[in-house]
């Protein structure tokens, strides 16, 4: 079982990710979205930055985040959500893959797709 501080941070990052996805889907520019999320939570951008890296989320702040993100009280403390939380290494990989995809021509995109499918097949459990 993960420590509560880790669970809360990862779940807060999940809420942040959802916020970013909704904002970008609505056509908002990516610049300034961290500040907008902090404003939504009624905390300073500096505090949000600290939370993302290492600052523990106490009970009062946890309930405040839940209230402003329209999730049930206690939601931030649920460990089963952790699997959906963004992992920093995964996010870096996705970013690198996206940059490679966007820079590639049609042939390069086919090769990238084939490579990923081959890796996925290698990782698939045997029947």
Q: What is the pLDDT of residues 71-121, one digit of tens each?
A: 999 999 998 765 555 566 677 777 788 888 889 999 998 998 888 888 877
**Domain of residue 114, residue span:** 87-127
Same domain, yes or no: 22 and 44 = yes
Q: What is the pTM of this model?
A: 0.64
Same domain, yes or no: 41 and 3 = yes
The pair of structure tokens assigned to 92 is 């870096």
Total number of domains in the chain: 2
pLDDT in tens, 20-39: 988 888 888 888 999 999 99
* pLDDT value for 30: 83
Contact assessment for residue 7 and residue 78, using Cβ atoms and an 8 Å cutoff: yes
Estimate to the nearest angstrom the gap between the alpha carbon of 17 and the chain centroid. Answer: 4
Same domain, yes or no: 108 and 123 = yes
Residue 80's φ and ψ, nearest 5 degrees, are -65, -10
Same domain, yes or no: 58 and 107 = no
Same domain, yes or no: 100 and 80 = no
Q: Is the pLDDT of residue 44 over 90?
A: yes
The pair of structure tokens assigned to 127 is 């029947």
């Amino acid at each position: 079982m993960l420590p509560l501080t880790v669970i809360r941070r990862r779940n807060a990052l999940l809420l942040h990710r959802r916020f970013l996805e909704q904002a970008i889907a609505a056509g908002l520019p990516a610049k300034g979205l961290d500040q907008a999320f902090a404003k939504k939570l009624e905390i300073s951008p500096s505090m949000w930055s600290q939370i993302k890296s290492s600052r523990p989320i106490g009970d009062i702040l946890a309930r405040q985040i839940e209230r402003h993100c329209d999730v049930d009280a206690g939601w931030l403390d649920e460990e089963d959500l952790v699997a959906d939380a963004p992992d920093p290494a995964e996010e870096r990989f996705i970013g690198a893959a996206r940059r490679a995809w966007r820079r590639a021509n049609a042939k390069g995109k086919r090769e990238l797709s084939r490579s990923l499918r081959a890796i996925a097949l290698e990782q698939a459990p045997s029947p």
